[in-house]
Amino acid sequence: MKFFTLDTVFQFSWGQVVTAFWQRYPNPNSKHVLSEDVIERWLCGDKLFTKRLIQKKGSIPKWGERIITGCSHAYVVEESMLDLASHTLTTYTRNINLKEISTIDEKCVYTPTGEDGGQHTMCQRFGWVASKVRFSGGMIEKFAFHKFKKSTVKSALGFQFVLNRLFTPDFETEHKSRTEKLKDSAKKAKELAKSSAEKAKLKVLHKSSCDGHTDSKS
């Protein structure tokens, strides 16, 4: 079993983070998330409990295709407890398919942090990855662990994007402007590369023509 922790501070209040939590999909960093559905939700005193099913598009390395066949999607159950009294949001996620190959469990705890009455929010993330497959279990565990760690970084970036979209004034306008500038730069770079390739091709043709003319004179 492999274990890791990751702390992320969001520059938003706990109330804003909780509001954005239920709206974090879709975002530019979660294109692999295909759907999310609430299975159960109930209130007990000051605590709100929710269970959701999340479907994701999976990717398998070439060597893993011999072990895993006919499965391109991953299904994850997310259970959360929102405690209004203690200002804590705790989430638990686990995969429910491919468990015979590997298990991935994650716990996140969101709490107010910082000075000035806790104007920011800390996310403490804990992850466990394990595989019991004989012979190749270590390889599977290592692959799943590194992929999971990478996905947590993308998840935090995606959550940050949603927070900015919801609570940062003019974020949408600035984001669209930056996106358009990047697209324009990419288009110009593509056109420049195409032009350079055409010039290089013309030089080669010209050289070949000159060499042929010289040979004919000889």
Per-residue pLDDT, 187? 58
Mean pLDDT estimate for the chain: 84
Q: 211 pLDDT exceeds 80?
A: no
Residue 7 placed within a domain: yes
Residue 211 placed within a domain: no
Average the pLDDT over 66-81 and give the result.
Answer: 80
Average the pLDDT over 112-140 and give the result.
Answer: 86
Tokens of 132: 């019991």
Q: At 80, which CATH number?
A: 3.30.530.20
Q: What DSSP assignment string belongs to 51-101?
A: EEEEEEE----GGGGGTS-S--EEEEEEEEEEETTTTEEEEEEEE-SSTTT
Beta-carbon contacts of 126 under 8 Å, excluding residues fewer than 6 positions away, are: 3, 4, 5, 106, 107, 108
Domain extent at residue 15: 2-168
| Domains held by the chain: number | 1
Residue 74 placed within a domain: yes
Residue 174 placed within a domain: no
pTM for the full predicted model: 0.76
